[in-house]
Amino acid sequence: MIIKRIYKSSWFVKVVFVVSLFAIIFIAGLGYKHITNLSKSTEMVIHTYKVNVELEQILSYLKDSETGQRGYIITQDSLYLKPFIEGRKKVNNSFAELKYLTSDNPEQQKNLKELSSLIDKRLDNLEIASNYAANDQTDLTRFKDVFQEGKNYMGAIRNKLNYMISIENDLLKKRKEEYVSDARFTPVFLYSLILLTLVLMYAAYAKINSNLEKLKKSNQQLEIFKESTNQSEIINKHGSWRWNVEEDSFYFSDNLFRLLGEEPGSFAQTIENFMKFVHPEDVEKLSSQVDEMKENKDLPFIVYRVIHKSGDTRYLKAYGKSTVNSEGITQLLGTTTDITDEIDHYNTLEKRNQELELNNKELQAFNYVASHDLQEPLRKIQTFLSRLEDREQDNFSESGKKYVERINNAASRMRLLIDDLLQYSRTNKSDEILKNSDINKLLEDAQQDLAEVIIAKNATITTVKIPEMKVIPFQIQQLFGNLIGNSLKYSAKDRNPIIAISYDKVEASDDQQLSKALYDEYHRITISDNGIGFEQEYAEKIFTLFNRLHNKDEYSGTGIGLSICKKIVDNHSGFIFAKGEPNIGAVFSIYLPLV
């Protein structure tokens, strides 16, 4: 696990290289030391042999001297004395050489000193013996003693030499052993070190390889991303750009060229070339905003126009943000979008709005005409009629009186129609503000308005406590007035009207009728009566304008009242439903959103 983590870390390769470098330096050092040791050992062997050769030579010189002396003694010929004299010289030479060679070994120096005195003694002895021979005193016992002494000396010298040679040989053996163990151990160590280095290098190689593979993959993904960005730029009509402020160099995305009505890469990417496309009236504004962009990190959106070579004018919206890249260079990254379509839509909407406003004003003017100009002649007709009835009553024939009465009824009905229509069109007002209102009070006021009819019909109205709601108060009062008025108007002739008003809260999901609801919870106010009711098939029809279920001779009415109710409820984003059963009664349910 840890190994895996180390392997995956980014500094793994670096560590491997450092470790390998040290390993190689170590290997080189070790190799150098080994070679140095080897040449030292060779030198040692040569040294030992040299010492041994010199020692053997000393012995051989001594032997030469001895042989020469013996020859002289026997022949008395001085010719034999020559090697004896030369031998002494040669021994001295060898001695000097040995002294130099064993200068690093105190033991051998000591031995050499002892040897030197032995050799001196031996040579002196030889000389004494030679002198005896020269004087022909070889028969003397003294000469024999001297001769015997010389032999002894010679034995001692031989022993000493052999001892010295054995010391050198021991040294050589010891050094050889050291060298051999060194030589045996070093290659194994070196080999394993090289092996380890190789393993590490291989791991590093594998790591680099896998990194390369990953890089290749991300490169591919980048390529795909770039392509999809290009496509999305085309679809969404936007282009992107980069501006290196310090170097004043630009990069435009392909689609940015297209936004200017040009083929990608068709002109050099400079601000001057870009500005050539900008609408003359917008150049100054854009330039100053571009200057500002250099200084500020964030800027609001810039909207400006460009003119294509084809003559089309397009609206572009740009946004830029200053960033510092990994190399510490400040760049502005920006996006530019073609918003011509949005602006066109906006303009169309604006135009429609203006038309609507105009229509609204016309409607208001119609309202005024209806309320004032239409009412005025009607009022005068009614006033003149009242004067006729008042003053000319006696001058009318019976049928004349009947006609006047009929005119009066028609005028009254016309007044009712005008009033109701006005009410209906005034209910249109959507700029009324919703405010928290005491619904119980509105209900009470509505009943107050109908007090006369309630008393005349001997009606019973029961209510419950209703919580406060956010409504247009006068509209809700009218809604109650219309619905209670409706119940009173369509009461059954054989019984006193009973109107029950109830309240509860409902979840939109619990009520099938609220399938189109926009809110989760609704207030439900129900007004039920025991009147003449209606066939359920008319439940929806009764809310449409001028729709009546009864002949106007039976029940007066304009067919507008319930339409007003529907409109009021619509204004409150609510619903109204009717349920009827002939001669049993009607139930009106009002749903107002709980907000």
Taking CB under 8 A as the rule, does residue 214 contact another protein?
Answer: no
350 vs 373, beta carbon nearer another protein = 373
291 vs 390, beta carbon nearer another protein = 390
415 vs 470, beta carbon nearer another protein = 415
- Can you tell me the distance from the alpha carbon of 440 to that of 27, in angstroms, rounded to the nearest whole number? 102
Piece of 58-66, 278-286, 386-394, 517-525 that binds another protein (CB under 8 A): 386-394
Q: Locate tokens 């021979």: which residue?
A: 133
Work out which of 244, 375, 423, 425 binds another protein, going by CB under 8 A: 375
* Smallest gap from residue 555 Cβ to another protein (A): 23
Residue 593 forms beta bridges with which residues?
A: 522
Number of residues counted as binding another protein (CB under 8 A): 14
Piece of 51-59, 374-382, 433-441, 549-557 that binds another protein (CB under 8 A): 374-382
Piece of 80-88, 169-177, 382-390, 488-496 that binds another protein (CB under 8 A): 382-390
219 vs 386, beta carbon nearer another protein = 386
Taking CB under 8 A as the rule, does residue 378 contact another protein?
Answer: yes
Closest Cα to residue 532, out of 484, 577, 586, 456? 586
Taking CB under 8 A as the rule, does residue 406 contact another protein?
Answer: no
* Smallest gap from residue 402 Cβ to another protein (A): 20
% helix / strand / coil in the chain, to the nearest 5?
Answer: 65, 15, 20
Closest Cα to residue 101, out of 171, 34, 173? 171
Work out which of 415, 489, 541, 550 binds another protein, going by CB under 8 A: 415
* Smallest gap from residue 357 Cβ to another protein (A): 18
372 vs 465, beta carbon nearer another protein = 372
Name the strand (E) or helix (H) holding 507: strand 498-507
386 vs 458, beta carbon nearer another protein = 386
Taking CB under 8 A as the rule, does residue 371 contact another protein?
Answer: yes
- Can you tell me the distance from the alpha carbon of 388 to that of 385, in angstroms, rounded to the nearest whole number? 5
Amino acid identity of residue 57, one-letter, is: Q
* Smallest gap from residue 553 Cβ to another protein (A): 23
Name the strand (E) or helix (H) holding 336: strand 330-338
Taking CB under 8 A as the rule, does residue 552 contact another protein?
Answer: no
- Can you tell me the distance from the alpha carbon of 387 to that of 402, in angstroms, rounded to the nearest whole number? 16
262 vs 389, beta carbon nearer another protein = 389
* Smallest gap from residue 383 Cβ to another protein (A): 5
383 vs 460, beta carbon nearer another protein = 383
- Can you tell me the distance from the alpha carbon of 485 to that of 504, in angstroms, rounded to the nearest whole number? 22
Question: 90 is written with which tokens?
Answer: 């040669």
Taking CB under 8 A as the rule, does residue 221 contact another protein?
Answer: no
Taking CB under 8 A as the rule, does residue 386 contact another protein?
Answer: yes
Between vectors from CA 156 to CA 154 and to CA 157, what angle results, nearest 5°? 65
List alpha helices for 450-560, DSSP H: 451-457, 473-489
Taking CB under 8 A as the rule, does residue 416 contact another protein?
Answer: no
3-state SS assignment for residue 300 = coil
Evaluate the CA torsion angle 524, 527, 528, 532 in order and state its sign: negative
Residue 103: φ, ψ to 5°: -60, -25
390 vs 452, beta carbon nearer another protein = 390
Taking CB under 8 A as the rule, does residue 413 contact another protein?
Answer: no
Work out which of 390, 431, 537, 553 binds another protein, going by CB under 8 A: 390
Q: Are 333 and 321 in contact (CB under 8 A)?
A: yes
Amino acid identity of residue 27, one-letter, is: I
- Can you tell me the distance from the alpha carbon of 257 to that of 336, in angstroms, rounded to the nearest whole number? 11
473 vs 580, beta carbon nearer another protein = 473
Taking CB under 8 A as the rule, does residue 361 contact another protein?
Answer: no
- Can you tell me the distance from the alpha carbon of 432 to that of 474, in angstroms, rounded to the nearest whole number? 10
Q: Are 533 and 584 in contact (CB under 8 A)?
A: yes
Taking CB under 8 A as the rule, does residue 376 contact another protein?
Answer: yes
Taking CB under 8 A as the rule, does residue 409 contact another protein?
Answer: no
Q: Which residues are CB-neighbours of 571 under 8 A, at least 6 positions away?
A: 427, 430, 432, 472, 475
Piece of 371-379, 502-510, 530-538, 562-570 that binds another protein (CB under 8 A): 371-379
Work out which of 113, 379, 435, 552 binds another protein, going by CB under 8 A: 379
Q: Are 237 and 63 in contact (CB under 8 A)?
A: no
Taking CB under 8 A as the rule, does residue 128 contact another protein?
Answer: no
Piece of 66-74, 137-145, 316-324, 365-373 that binds another protein (CB under 8 A): 365-373
Between vectors from CA 230 to CA 224 and to CA 235, what angle results, nearest 5°? 125
Q: Are 105 and 111 in contact (CB under 8 A)?
A: no
Piece of 1-9, 385-393, 478-486, 558-566 that binds another protein (CB under 8 A): 385-393
Taking CB under 8 A as the rule, does residue 382 contact another protein?
Answer: yes
Evaluate the CA torsion angle 246, 250, 251, 253 in order and state its sign: positive
Taking CB under 8 A as the rule, does residue 393 contact another protein?
Answer: no
Taking CB under 8 A as the rule, does residue 245 contact another protein?
Answer: no
Question: 66 is written with which tokens?
Answer: 């001895």
23 vs 381, beta carbon nearer another protein = 381
Piece of 200-208, 227-235, 373-381, 494-502 that binds another protein (CB under 8 A): 373-381
Give the single-character DSSP code of 495.
Answer: S
Taking CB under 8 A as the rule, does residue 110 contact another protein?
Answer: no
- Can you tell me the distance from the alpha carbon of 520 to that of 393, in angstroms, rounded to the nearest whole number? 64
Which residues are near another protein by CB under 8 A?
Answer: 368, 371-372, 375-376, 378-380, 382-383, 386-387, 390, 415
